[in-house]
Amino acid sequence: MKTFLRLSSLVRPYFWWMALAALIGFATTGSSIGLLMTSAYIIAKAALLPPLGALQLGIVGVRFFGLARGVLRYLERLVSHSTTFRILAELRLWFYDAIEPLAPARLMHFRSGDLLQRVVDDIQSLENIYTRVLAPPVTALLVALLMWFLVGIYSLPAALLVLTFHLLAGIGVPLLVVQLNRGVAVGIMEQKTAQQLLALDLFQGVGELQIYGKLTGHLDELSMTEEKKLRLQRKNAIVEGLQESLTGVLMNGAVIAILWVMVPAVSTGGVNGMSLAIITLAVMASFEPFLPLPGAIKHLEADTHAGRRLFEILDAKPETKAPENPLPFPEDHSIRVENLSFSYPGTESKTLNRISFTVPAGKHIAIVGPSGAGKSTLTALFMRFWNPSEGDVLIGGSTITLFDPEVLRRNIALVSQRTFLFAETIRQNLLLARPEATNEELKRALAAAGLGSFGTKLDEWTGQHGMLLSGGERQRIAIARVLLQNAPLVILDEATANLDGVTERDVNETLEAVTAGKTLIAITHRLAAMERYDSIIVLDKGRIVEEGRHEDLMRLNGLYERMWKLQHAAA
């Protein structure tokens, strides 16, 4: 119930739209009841062979309710769908705004396929909160009250009987369906999630599955998941058919009950036969809004499950957040790291252990070391994806926790080992760095990054993850982004790790040219062109073991010298 109340609070801004849609839905059902009542009146009246003028009221009523039913049904669909789409758009924006501060620190424990399922399918299922959970009970309640009033005019016992059957259809049948169908909606969602995870693993790892002979087993697991889902869907279809049949039985029971009560009154003159026909058809029509109620309970279960999955993510506290009164980004772009330590959650070992160094403004330094030395963790701390366990990172003498994280990241250009390109055009991927950039600015950035020929290909598609481009081209697009972003600080995190030697040399030369005058930190395990750096810091097991220029480190005969000889001997 707590989860449902939290979900309901999200759609509260659209209360009046929902109320209007529910009212129109009630008026639509009322028109259906009125149409049947006036039709029954004409048929019963015509059987007595009255003058044509005596039928005018019924004829006008049939025309009015017939037209009103169609118009109101259209308006009900228009308002309810418009409200639903507004709610869905609001939910997506709400979820993105809530999840964005959690990335990447709080999301690393979730599989990408599971996150995608929550972002797409779980959010999509929440559109049912209004259309299939909140609105149907309101419409059914209003119709029950209307029928209590209409039938009560003729016979209070008959009104009580109709109310009893309405309660059975509105409460008894849904509760029975819930018992028979308990866990089915949630089970279907879970199997869909499992399917998506297995399918994503299949697409991304089909090569490895084939190499190790696991492809058949993986496909069998995928087939078993599909079979489980189909079994649940079959059970759901059977129960849905049963609830429709039960509602029909209750409708017929209500008709028989009011006939049993009111037929004797016809014989005694308390109720005329025409009124009995009108009431009977009205009661039959009144059960229409009770048909969706069992489905409302089913969707309530599914929506509550989806809400729990979403709140499981959103209830996590962001690793980093903006201060109440953030400082403006300083003009001094020097960096100072003081006694910096960091341990990832759930681990006792320190990835970084009390390291300290300084990068003067405009200087270029390299941070090198073997894999696992803690180099990439430094990048995450500079970008404030994580907060240090101990120590501090300062820019211009101010700790970076005093800056708004978004402002900090706009002033630090990052080129990582894997440049992510969206399945969009080259233009759209470049505009990430500066949305207001003109065509000429995009072309100049590409030319400076060594992709002058791409100036005529701005609207060409890059493929999924940019796979229509080579590794070198993707890295050069990342360099073009750095130029467009024009940030005073630049971090290169294994920017050339996946490139061949020739391409690596060309990309390094381009990077050196475009970062001239900027404060630069190059994080790498590949010791290429180290002579160009003002200082080199050597990390090993989270500690700084050596520091100095290339020539000085080579004379120390330490870790740096061994790494250099090993890499260049292999070359």
pTM for the whole structure: 0.67
Between 29-33, 173-177, 301-305, 359-363, the lowest mean confidence (pLDDT) is in: 301-305
Q: Which of the two residues, 495 and 441, has the higher pLDDT score? A: 441
Is the separation of the CB atoms in 308 and 4 below 8 Å?
Answer: no
Share of the chain above pLDDT 70, in %: 97
Quote the pLDDT of residue 356: 93
CATH of 335-570, one of 3.40.640.10, 3.30.70.20, 3.40.50.300, 3.40.630.30: 3.40.50.300
Backbone angles phi, psi at 127, to 5 degrees: -65, -20
Q: How far apart are CA 427 and CA 172, in angstroms?
A: 59
Angle subtended at Cα 385 by Cα 379 and Cα 386, rounded to the nearest 5 degrees: 95
Distances (CA, A) of 237 to 173, 187, 242, 523: 15, 14, 9, 58
* H or E stretch covering 136: helix 135-154
Average pLDDT across the chain, whole number: 84
Report H helices in 47-129.
Answer: 56-99, 112-117, 123-125, 128
pLDDT digits (tens, 9 = 90+) for 484-508: 988 999 998 887 776 677 777 777 7
Reduced to 3 states, what is the DSSP secondary structure of residue 408?
helix
Is the separation of the CB atoms in 170 and 137 below 8 Å?
Answer: yes
For 412: left if phi > 0, alpha if psi spans -120 to 50, otherwise beta; the answer is beta
For residue 571, pLDDT beyond 60? no
Share of the chain above pLDDT 90, in %: 19
Quote the pLDDT of residue 130: 67
Domain 2-314 in CATH: superfamily? ABC transporter type 1, transmembrane domain (1.20.1560.10)
For residue 336, pLDDT beyond 90? yes
Long-range contacts of 174-178 (CB under 8 A, 24+ apart): 174/243, 174/293, 174/294, 174/296, 174/297, 175/297, 176/243, 176/246, 177/239, 177/242, 177/243, 177/294, 177/297, 177/298, 178/294, 178/297, 178/298, 178/301
Q: How far apart are CA 314 and CA 123, in angstroms?
A: 13
For residue 570, pLDDT beyond 60? no
User: Most distant CA pair in the chain: distance in Å?
Assistant: 120
Q: Where in the chain is the domain with CATH 3.40.50.300?
A: 335-570
For residue 335, pLDDT beyond 90? yes
In the block, which residue shows the tokens 């404060």? 519
Is the separation of the CB atoms in 181 and 241 below 8 Å?
Answer: no
Tokens of 497: 């790790």
Angle subtended at Cα 9 by Cα 85 and Cα 93, rounded to the nearest 5 degrees: 45
In the block, which residue shows the tokens 């209307």? 146
Quote the pLDDT of residue 136: 85
Residues in the chain: 571
Q: Once rounded to an integer, what is the mean pLDDT over residues 243-254? A: 88
Quote the pLDDT of residue 139: 87
Quote the pLDDT of residue 320: 80
Quote the pLDDT of residue 1: 66
Q: Where in the chain is the domain with CATH 1.20.1560.10?
A: 2-314
